[in-house]
Structure 1
């Protein structure tokens, strides 16, 4: 069956997205922000829009601030579940084209054909400064100092897993620091396209714990691409061995990192609801476009 409602809402470890096959009217930043608003709209960490209904399936990802994202690990698991359960994908293994490149997803349906776990081949990570989107920086930004204030410099690594990330390590995680400095890192002049940020604590030979500031979304309970970036940098620097268990406030993801920095991510996914936009919300969306 294909989707007959306006949207499906699902989450991966508390990171929730609205899946849609069509958007009412022009998809402007103002309208995206309204739909994602938790008080005046449906409420979500973003929108997943189906743009091609046959393999390779097409996906566009929008942040709650109205901007467009290249890739989302949790979003891809949610989208893969949606494609399989609503009959768009008939095989367990299929490809999805994103702005950040082609990925392969494998779903694991239960006896009732419901999907509660998805594995995604996230592609290859790179520290190439052009791919990461660094400004006026010609070499890989690996364990370099990022100046945030005259008296604050932060050692970290900039890496792309299809979207850009800044990864730094701490012996103890500090939520207050991330909430205060995450926006400043996101909008640092070195990152003209903005960047996602992960604070990482190594907790075992193959385990890390992270806190996340997500570009366009802010403080986030969980993020698939952030987990991939943090795990890859941790393996690359010899701090842990693959496969890596990544702990976040929302839960745990399993990340495999090959010697060539090819990444595979596996984790849970759950549908919350499906529904239709009310006439009142549709009127608000119409007025938001004027």
Structure 2
């Protein structure tokens, strides 16, 4: 069996996007992992399935590089209007999202953030704005769920922190029963944040849309910034706007790189 696909990215966070609206695809963890493999498959951070929905224009399923299915991906959501060819409502495991193009940029309504310890989720009750937990000499983090779980550290100097060691250690800490995305943030200027993200099931990524949203929300809650917040990642900048009680609005670029076709029988499953 062969599958047509599009290769897309948002700020270098790259995706294989498959249209399952007319021909359903039985996606398994092993198949998603094989397609995402950069040596023996197509290669991507996430595999995206665009399907039908009874509640929205399209449905979106998201599989990380390790094959695990996750709830949300902000950068992938920005790619959906380019893939479909129009502004769309999107059903995801995180809820209904809306994405629309404006020139070269795409804006997404990411919904409301959640802050309850059981909504992150954490293993037990605690304050999520200044968590009484830390690792090595990291400062007290904030936790936010923006469709998927995030923890945010605000650092004086990201370069002084061993993020390669701490990222996987924190991701798999028993405090996070669903694991967690780890954000290492640094205030660069008023309403401007530098960000490095260790993504759950992926590792370091050039950009993470939900990470940018979680970090901007945490910065605003801690009164380190006020919206809109410019978040600078390795792949480029995102603009995040949020006020308490409101939805998060994320704006940034999305790119359609090429279309292709893959023979599934040739994959190493």
Q: Please say whether Structure 1 and Structure 2 have the same fold, judged by a TM-score greater than 0.5.
A: yes
Task: Give the match for residue 159 of structure 2.
Answer: 174
Tell me whether 1:133 sits opposite 2:121 in the alignment: yes
Distance 1:73 1:42 in 2: 21
Tell me whether 1:283 sits opposite 2:268 in the alignment: no
Q: Secondary structure at the match of 1:234?
A: helix
Task: Give the match for residue 199 of structure 2.
Answer: 214
Distance 1:53 1:24 in 2: 13
The Cα RMSD (Å) is 2.1
Distance 2:221 2:134 in 1: 23
Task: Give the match for residue 39 of structure 2.
Answer: 39
Distance 1:225 1:202 in 2: 18
Show structure 1 runs of 5+ residues with no match. Answer: 110-115
Task: Give the match for residue 97 of structure 2.
Answer: 103
Task: Give the match for residue 247 of structure 2.
Answer: 262
Tell me whether 1:17 sits opposite 2:36 in the alignment: no
Task: Give the match for residue 130 of structure 2.
Answer: 143
Give deviations 1:154-200, integer Å, cap 9, x for gaps: 41011101111000111111386111110011111110100001111
Shift of residue 258 of structure 1? Answer: 1.7
Q: Does the 8 Å contact 1:5/1:274 carry over to 2?
A: no
Q: TM-score, normalised by structure 1?
A: 0.86
Describe the shift of the 1:25–1:238 C-alpha distance in structure 2 as closer, same or farther (beyond 3 A): closer
Distance 2:208 2:91 in 1: 19
Q: TM-score, normalised by structure 2?
A: 0.92
Describe the shift of the 1:37–1:175 C-alpha distance in structure 2 as closer, same or farther (beyond 3 A): farther
Structure 1 outlier segments of 4+, above 6 Å: none
Q: Secondary structure at the match of 1:130?
A: coil
Tell me whether 1:229 sits opposite 2:211 in the alignment: no
Q: Does the 8 Å contact 1:165/1:196 carry over to 2?
A: yes
Give deviations 1:83-139, integer Å, cap 9, x for gaps: 12xxxx4xx3x3111101111111135xxxxxx3210000001111111111122x4
Q: Superposed, which structure 2 residues align to 1:34-183 within 5 Å?
A: 34-52=34-52, 55-84=56-85, 89=86, 92=87, 94-109=88-103, 116-137=104-125, 139-148=126-135, 152=137, 154-174=139-159, 177-183=162-168
Q: Does the 8 Å contact 1:77/1:118 carry over to 2?
A: yes
Q: Secondary structure at the match of 1:8?
A: strand
Show structure 2 runs of 5+ residues with no match. Answer: none
Distance 1:83 1:172 in 2: 41
Task: Give the match for residue 113 of structure 1.
Answer: none
Shift of residue 24 of structure 1? Answer: 8.8
Q: Does the 8 Å contact 1:232/1:261 carry over to 2?
A: no
Structure 1 residue aligned with 2:223, among 238, 263, 266? Answer: 238
